[in-house]
């Protein structure tokens, strides 16, 4: 399968400062640690080191909600406004119709990447959810899938009100303690007890360096991405899902995801099929850290990779392609790429225009071929510069593009007045 030397070589080849890999086949778990937690201090990575899981946290939040569903506290189709008297979204239809299922499946239409630091107190979630009312939606309720971090904060606030416990206490009581996850922490100040990874960003000279500060997720948004954990604890969490039949409903497809690797979304989980086999998982990215979780239910296999680099996608692909083949006989598809010859298309001029969501603006132009100018907004603008793509058509609605110097192709789907890219849906701006 893989040994320590091979893991060390791969981590070094991909210039990832530190990483931990955990492979669970049934109850047998192998772990490998490599590199350093911080290039400035040289502290070695160990199997017990904590990494920032980012959006993998959402599956933990979803699991806590499902436990409350089991207890009869709430249902998947309970309305938010019934649980949170006074709740308001930016439009009346969402205020009245928004349910737990919409939030779990990223179909709420609410501004998905709204960022607002409401402090570290126990009222952080309440204040954040109240602020969401001021932000225009990305699309109408239930119209399509568009990744929504804000939705998981609303879920967490619903749970707080229904149980009179903080989100952190609920996740600890309902998810972490039952599996003995003693190397998982939900508050940044708790992480200091452990050896923890710091993120690494490009230093402008071809290397990586830690940012000037360790940036925790604001508490009001922690339910969407604040958990820090060891790889072994993430395996224990995933194995709970494989062994508890009551949680299998979370892996049932709920909504299609246009233009992305996960073909569907379940209740918290990304879902896709390779070689006609069902896989579930999630990924997370924070300031200079990346985390990967994949579950293959019919083989009873869990793969976890935690890294302290925002540029670890190549390491993930090399490792998981090999491990999926060795443990399950599954071939990971190659990276996205356009067809050798662009597809014959019609009506492309009608796709031109501006498409916008809460975190990105896409300006699509047509002069015989499509081009798009991508501009980050809000928090995304802190880390990304605007860039342009020349699009190669795979069909009348599917396109591929990459910016100069980028080895990876991006996939864009434009249909029904929306542009889908990077799990986000941007609506075409009206011209009248």
**What positions carry a catalytic annotation?**
55
C-alpha to C-alpha distance for 416 and 394, rounded to whole angstroms: 17
Q: What angle do CA 326, 330, 334 make, to 5 degrees?
A: 110
Structure tokens at 127: 């204040």
C-alpha to C-alpha distance for 268 and 170, rounded to whole angstroms: 17
Among 66, 95, 64, 92, residue whose Cα is nearest residue 79: 95
Task: Give me the helices (H) in 44-181, please.
Answer: 57-70, 80-83, 92-97, 100-104, 124-132, 149-163, 167-171
Buried b or exposed e, range 357-370, using 16+ CB within 10 angstroms: bbbbbbbbeeeeeb
C-alpha to C-alpha distance for 55 and 354, rounded to whole angstroms: 28
C-alpha to C-alpha distance for 305 and 293, rounded to whole angstroms: 7
Q: Residue 30: left if φ>0, alpha if ψ -120 to 50, beta else—which one?
A: beta
C-alpha to C-alpha distance for 74 and 395, rounded to whole angstroms: 43
45: Cβ–Cβ under 8 A, 6 or more apart, which residues?
18, 19, 20, 33, 34, 35, 36, 37, 197, 308
| Cα–Cα separations (whole angstroms), residue 7 to 16, 236, 321, 403 | 11, 22, 13, 30
């Amino acid at each position: 399968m893989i040994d320590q030397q091979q893991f060390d070589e791969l981590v070094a080849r991909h210039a990832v400062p530190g990483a931990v890999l955990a492979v669970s086949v049934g109850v047998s778990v192998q772990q490998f640690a490599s590199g350093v937690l911080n290039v400035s201090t040289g502290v070695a990575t160990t199997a017990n080191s904590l990494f920032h899981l980012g959006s993998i946290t959402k599956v933990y939040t979803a699991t806590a909600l499902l436990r409350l569903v089991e207890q009869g506290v709430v249902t998947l189709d309970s309305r938010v406004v019934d649980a949170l008297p006074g709740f308001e979204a930016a439009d009346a239809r969402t205020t009245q119709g928004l349910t737990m299922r919409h939030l779990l499946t990223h179909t709420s239409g609410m501004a998905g990447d709204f960022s607002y630091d409401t402090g570290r107190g126990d009222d952080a979630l309440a204040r954040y959810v109240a602020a969401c009312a001021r932000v225009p939606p990305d699309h109408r309720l239930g119209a399509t899938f568009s990744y929504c971090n804000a939705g998981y904060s609303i879920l967490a606030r619903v749970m707080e009100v229904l149980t009179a416990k903080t989100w952190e206490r609920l996740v600890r009581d309902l998810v972490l303690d039952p599996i003995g996850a003693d190397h998982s922490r939900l508050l940044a100040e708790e992480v200091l007890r452990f050896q923890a990874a710091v993120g690494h960003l490009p230093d402008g000279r071809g290397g990586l360096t830690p940012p000037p500060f360790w940036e925790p997720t604001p508490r009001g948004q922690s339910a969407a991405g604040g958990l820090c954990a060891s790889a072994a604890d993430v395996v224990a969490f995933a194995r709970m899902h494989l062994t508890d039949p009551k949680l299998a409903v979370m892996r049932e497809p709920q909504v299609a995801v246009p233009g992305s690797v996960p073909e569907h979304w379940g209740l918290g989980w990304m879902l896709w099929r390779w070689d006609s086999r069902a896989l579930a998982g999630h990924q997370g990215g924070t300031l200079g850290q990346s985390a990967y979780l994949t579950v293959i239910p019919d083989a009873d296999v869990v793969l976890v990779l935690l890294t302290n680099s925002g540029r670890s996608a190549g390491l993930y692909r090399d490792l998981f392609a090999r491990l999926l083949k060795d443990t399950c006989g599954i071939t990971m598809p190659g990276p996205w790429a356009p067809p050798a010859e662009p597809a014959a298309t019609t009506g492309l001029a009608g796709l031109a225009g501006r498409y916008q969501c809460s975190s990105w603006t896409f300006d699509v132009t047509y002069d015989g071929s499509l081009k798009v100018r991508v501009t980050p907004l809000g928090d995304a603008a802190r880390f990304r510069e605007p860039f342009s793509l020349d699009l190669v058509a795979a069909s009348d609605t599917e396109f591929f593009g990459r910016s100069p110097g980028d080895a990876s192709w991006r996939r864009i789907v434009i249909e029904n007045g929306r542009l889908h890219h990077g799990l986000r849906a941007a609506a075409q701006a009206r011209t009248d």
